[in-house]
Amino acid sequence: MVEEVESNGLADQTGLIASGISLSFGGQKVLDSVDIHLEPGRVHAITGENGAGKSSLAKVIAGIYRSESGSISFNGANLNLKDPRSALTQGITLIHQEPLIFPDLSIGENIFAGNLPKRGPKIDWDLVFQRSRALLDKLGSNLDVRTSAGTLSIADQQMLEIAAAMSYEAKVWIFDETTAPLTPTEVARLFGLINELKQQECAIGIVTHHMDEVFTISDDITVLRNGKKVVQLLTQNTTKNEVVSHMVGRELDNQTQCAERTDQEIAFQIQNATGPGFQAVDFTIQRGEIFGIAGLVGAGRTELARAIFGITKPTSGQLKLDGQPYEVNNPGEAIKAGVVLVPEDRRGAGLCIEQSILDNTTLPGLNRFASKIGILSRNKAITTVLPKLDDLATKYQSLDQPVGQLSGGNQQKVVLTKWLLEEPKLLILDEPTRGVDIGAKADVHRQIRHLASQGVAILLISSDLPEVLSLSDRIGVMRKGEIVGTLAAAEATEALVVSLASGGQG
Amino acid sequence: MKRFIVPLLVIVAAYALLPRLFTADSTNSILLWLPLVLTVALGEFLVVVAGGIDISVGSIMGFSSMTVGIVFKANPSMPLPLAILVAVVCGLILGLINGALVARAKLPPLIVTIGTLATFRGLAFLIAKGETITGSYVPDSFTKLSNHGIPLGEVTLNWLAITSILCTAAFLWFTTNTALGRSIFAFGGQPEGALRRGIAATRIQTTVYALSGAMAGLGGAMYLSRFGQAQPGSAGSGFELTVIATVAIAGTKLTGGAGSIGKLVVAAIGVSALNVALSIQGISDDWQTLVYGSVLLVMVCADSFRRRSEVVV
């Protein structure tokens, strides 16, 4: 069976064949002689860790980046993809993770932008609206094509991009992490569409690092690592574990490593606190303890974190840090007191994306790198920052590289480094590994444990239940703003936490 | 109609300031200003819709009016259409320089056109070689374009005004019926998204700055016709403020992506009326500058506070 498919693959020139694709940015090789064959009527998952080069490969195929070498052919004919237009007109389309629409234009024009049908020298507006209506009908949407697109949800915006691609009658579709902003229902609808395209003999590529998606929808899998193709697999003949080990290229330590804790002094205490989004919250965290908070979305976890960090204020209750009353009016005071929050939204709230790694990491504590008269010492900053970054196995080219160029996992490591330099007493982590690939996740986990072993109290908020279970010494489960149960690591199971969080039978 | 309220208010304000504007004389004065304002504003409008700005239009007017004047001086019997063509080509070339700097060299439009504002003005001095274009060099037939035309009772719809109306019609057609015209709106609203749809930034930016230059060049010829003389230092000087204020009053989204040529026409009439009202009232140019500057600031604030507009084709 396997051999049959592979021998067919060699002889078969149908579909899109990219071979020997290489790309570098600023001297760093992003893609190194990568081959991929997207066959008609098959879904090909392109997977790998963040920074492995999957999105770059997709962008080369869509004509957004130009490959430095190699060739791309479709059904045996060589393509010259010099810009997105040439890819589009040859039936290759890329659906991006974040849709970008034209807010001031009508929905119909949004779908046909760059491809407006003409009658004689004039745009045929009747046809624009008629055809966009038909496309949206096909996608099961009843949006009014004549209204402006300004207020659409992300899912609807994505649908406009899909409709736009359909208007080109695309034969090659690449979906780049398109499920990230979607709800489960919307994901199901998208997968339905992908299956339909498959029926129509389109060649489909999906860029994703979610194993569940890979195994739900794909027929073939190509794994990239550090810009190189590692392996191509048939989905039906492989397992998640095999794919993951190809992605990471090393063994993961994902095992629980909770040493038995001896009683330590209490670092942080919150007593009967009520505030916006939470009520009657009561817990303590010892020095060196990881206290996980689990709960469904909207259970009040983030609200609690924001109140502790001084963004909002608890209306009642008492907070103590190192035995001293802890009352702060804003995050600045919280940081000064030794409480640090690593926010969920890295790009928006955690980093200055255009600034260098060095600038980002030294920002909160600039004074520490300054001489008496306030002149910053670059050497002092570098010698402080470097070991911390290396502790986390951060991958970067130079400390002067803008953090925007780093992959998601490495960006998160920069955020962590920044706050570690503050030597916090209490570190609040809000979804520390969301959108981070498996390898980087393990690095971040290791660092969290390392910090705890140095005596930092850690409040871990995460929707990733296995993460909470494997990292935490104790777990508080929140539901509707209250902590409905506190479990020790030894007794906590996924089932127990879920039943507490959802209010099921415990 | 609600969307026209701001530009209409400017007209109302002008007429409230000076009821005498209702007379035929004043209307004729307004029709002397309107072609200049409208013609140059059309080009600026496209640049702003594309998410850019062109500060250099006043200097392009200065350069083109000097060039046409010099050509007339050398060859007084030159056919008028050729003179106008010279002006448009002058402007087009200067506009292409702006376009190349913004689109090819990827420089910020504000800085580029501040630079060319000074450079093009300097060029106007250079080609003038210290002289001014006096009335004696400009043929009567050329100045007559600004006060002869189609009589409507006591009011004369002069040839310049007719030209600007024709230009407006052309721009309207271009922006609603051509792929390139629509691409300007798409690009201005979401440049990155436009790129994904195969709309190339260089093509859009080159087009809008070239067109803005060409319209300012035509505006320079209109300036020479209307005033009958031109000086390298003053021809078109400061006109960028009038024009950008007009575009802003027309409710054009100053971050790009949306705007209406209908409103631009109303705004141009308002600005021209205001200009005449202020002049007749004997309010000095300094004060006029202050008025335009303030109006522009108010419009920028309004644009920024306004929620996303719901303009649809």
> pLDDT by residue (tens digit) across B142-161?
999 998 889 888 888 999 99
Residue A140 lies in a domain: yes
Q: Does B263 touch chain A (CB under 8 A)?
A: no
Indicate the number of domains in chain A. Answer: 4
Higher pLDDT, residue A153 or A426: A426
Tokens encoding A144: 């009014």
d(CA A88, CA B218): 39
Residue A255 lies in a domain: no
Same domain, A350 and A360: yes
Measured between CB atoms, which of A87, A89, A147 is closest to B312? A147
Report the pLDDT value the prediction gives residue A195, as an integer from 0 to 100.
Answer: 94
Structural domain harbouring A357: 346-423
Classify residue A424 by burial, with Cβ atoms within 10 Å: 0-12, 13-18, 19+.
Answer: buried
Of A130-139, A144-153, B197-206, which range is least confident? A144-153
The pLDDT of A263-287, averaged and rounded, is 87
Per-residue pLDDT reduced to its tens digit, A229-247: 988 999 999 888 888 788 7
Residue B310 lies in a domain: no
Residue A410 lies in a domain: yes
B96-116: b (≥16 Cβ within 10 Å) or e: bbbbbbbbeeeeebeebbeeb
Residue A109 to residue B182, Cβ atoms within 8 A: yes
Query: Using CB atoms and an 8 Å cut-off, which of residues 137-176 of chain B contact chain A?
Result: 176
Measured between CB atoms, which of A88, A100, A125 is closest to B190? A100
Q: Does A88 touch chain B (CB under 8 A)?
A: yes
The pLDDT of B205-222, averaged and rounded, is 97
Measured between CB atoms, which of B186, B308, B309 is closest to A113? B186
Measured between CB atoms, which of A100, A123, A150 is closest to B193? A100
Report the pLDDT value the prediction gives residue A491, as an integer from 0 to 100.
Answer: 83
B134: left (phi over 0), alpha (psi -120 to 50) or beta: beta
The pLDDT of A49-72, averaged and rounded, is 87
Instruction: Indicate the Cα dihedral angle A398, A399, A400, A401, nearest 10°.
Output: 60
d(CA B313, CA A109): 8
Residue B311 to residue A104, Cβ atoms within 8 A: yes
Measured between CB atoms, which of A83, A103, A123 is closest to B308? A103
Residue B186 to residue A102, Cβ atoms within 8 A: yes
Q: How many CB atoms lie within 10 A of CB A183?
A: 12
Backbone angles phi, psi at B127, to 5 degrees: -70, -25
Residue at which a domain ends, from A223, A248, A273: A248
Report the pLDDT value the prediction gives residue A24, as an integer from 0 to 100.
Answer: 85
Structural domain harbouring B132: 2-9+41-303
- pLDDT surpasses 70 at B165: yes
Report the pLDDT value the prediction gives residue A5, as an integer from 0 to 100.
Answer: 43
Same domain, A44 and A107: no
Same domain, A321 and A240: no
Residues of chain A with Cβ-Cβ distance to B309 below 8 Å are 104, 150
The pLDDT of B239-249, averaged and rounded, is 93
Residue B26 lies in a domain: no
Same domain, A186 and A43: yes
Q: Does A66 touch chain B (CB under 8 A)?
A: no
Residues of chain A with Cβ-Cβ distance to B195 below 8 Å are 64, 84
Same domain, A62 and A187: yes
Tokens encoding A393: 């196995």
Q: Does A105 touch chain B (CB under 8 A)?
A: yes
Per-residue pLDDT reduced to its tens digit, A311-337: 888 888 889 988 889 988 888 888 888
Compare all CA atoms of chain B with the CA of A81 and give the residue at the minimum distance: B198
Report the pLDDT value the prediction gives residue B113, as an integer from 0 to 100.
Answer: 96
Question: A131: pLDDT confidence band, cut at 50, 70 and 90?
Answer: very high
Residue B98 lies in a domain: yes
Residue A114 to residue B199, Cβ atoms within 8 A: yes
Q: Which of A485, A351, A489, A410 is nearest to A501 (CA)?
A: A485
**Interface residue of B182, B199, B203, B308 to substitute, partner A, most A CBs within 10 Å:** B182
SS3 track for B135-159: HHHCCHHHHHHHCCEEEECCEEEEH
Same domain, A79 and A214: yes
Question: A250: pLDDT confidence band, cut at 50, 70 and 90?
Answer: low
Residues of chain A with Cβ-Cβ distance to B185 below 8 Å are 102, 104-105
Residue B19 lies in a domain: no
Per-residue pLDDT reduced to its tens digit, A437-474: 777 778 788 878 888 887 889 999 987 777 888 899 99
Residue A183 lies in a domain: yes
Residue A446 lies in a domain: no
Q: Is A459 helix (H, G, I), strand (E, B) or coil?
A: strand
Measured between CB atoms, which of B177, B189, B199 is closest to A105? B189
**ipTM attached to this prediction:** 0.84
Q: Does A323 touch chain B (CB under 8 A)?
A: no
Residue A276 lies in a domain: yes
Residue A112 lies in a domain: yes
* Highest averaged pLDDT of the listed ranges A251-260, B217-226, B287-296: B217-226
Same domain, A137 and A240: no
Same domain, A360 and A316: no
CATH number at residue B251: 1.10.3470
Residue A162 lies in a domain: no
- pLDDT surpasses 60 at A1: no
Same domain, A295 and A350: no
Specify which residues A231 forms β-bridges with.
A223
Same domain, A467 and A481: yes
Of A114-128, A208-222, A348-362, which range is least confident? A348-362
Compare all CA atoms of chain A with the CA of B195 and give the residue at the minimum distance: A84
Secondary structure letter of residue A262 according to DSSP: P
What letter represents residue B299's amino acid?
A: M
Question: B310: pLDDT confidence band, cut at 50, 70 and 90?
Answer: very low
Same domain, A232 and A376: no
Report the pLDDT value the prediction gives residue B309, as an integer from 0 to 100.
Answer: 44
**Interface residue of A66, A102, A157, A158 to substitute, partner B, most B CBs within 10 Å:** A102
Residues of chain B with Cβ-Cβ distance to A147 below 8 Å are 310, 312
Same domain, A147 and A190: no
Residue B241 lies in a domain: yes
Residue B185 to residue A105, Cβ atoms within 8 A: yes
Residues of chain A with Cβ-Cβ distance to B199 below 8 Å are 85, 113-114
How many angstroms separate the CA of residue A358 from the nearest CA in chain B? 27
Q: Does A127 touch chain B (CB under 8 A)?
A: no
d(CA A94, CA A75): 18
Residue A114 to residue B183, Cβ atoms within 8 A: yes
Residue A120 near residue B189, CB atoms below 8 Å: no
Question: B204: pLDDT confidence band, cut at 50, 70 and 90?
Answer: very high
Measured between CB atoms, which of A84, A89, A105 is closest to B196? A84
* Highest averaged pLDDT of the listed ranges A35-49, A490-504, B2-16, B295-309: A35-49
Residue B30 lies in a domain: no
How many angstroms separate the CA of residue A126 from the nearest CA in chain B? 12
- pLDDT surpasses 80 at B11: yes
Compare all CA atoms of chain B with the CA of A62 and give the residue at the minimum distance: B196
Residues of chain B with Cβ-Cβ distance to A115 below 8 Å are 197-198
d(CA B88, CA B211): 9
Indicate the number of domains in chain B. Answer: 1
Contacts across the A-B interface (CB distance below 8 Å): 96
Residues of chain B with Cβ-Cβ distance to A118 below 8 Å are 179
Report the pLDDT value the prediction gives residue A150, as an integer from 0 to 100.
Answer: 82
Q: Does A143 touch chain B (CB under 8 A)?
A: no
How many angstroms separate the CA of residue A504 from the nearest CA in chain B? 44
Q: Does A109 touch chain B (CB under 8 A)?
A: yes
Q: Does B255 touch chain A (CB under 8 A)?
A: no
Residue at which a domain ends, from A91, A118, A151: A151
Residue B134 lies in a domain: yes
Residues of chain A with Cβ-Cβ distance to B182 below 8 Å are 109, 113, 116, 123
Q: Which of A15, A49, A398, A10 is nearest to A249 (CA)?
A: A49
Residues of chain A with Cβ-Cβ distance to B51 below 8 Å are none
Q: Does B310 touch chain A (CB under 8 A)?
A: yes
DSSP labels for B64-122? HHHHHHHHHHH-TT--HHHHHHHHHHHHHHHHHHHHIIIIIS---HHHHHHHHHHHHHH
Q: Does B179 touch chain A (CB under 8 A)?
A: yes
Report the pLDDT value the prediction gives residue A50, as an integer from 0 to 100.
Answer: 63
- pLDDT surpasses 50 at A308: yes
Q: Is B60 helix (H, G, I), strand (E, B) or coil?
A: helix
Residues of chain B with Cβ-Cβ distance to A103 below 8 Å are 189-190, 257, 308
The pLDDT of A419-431, averaged and rounded, is 85
Report the pLDDT value the prediction gives residue B42, as an integer from 0 to 100.
Answer: 98
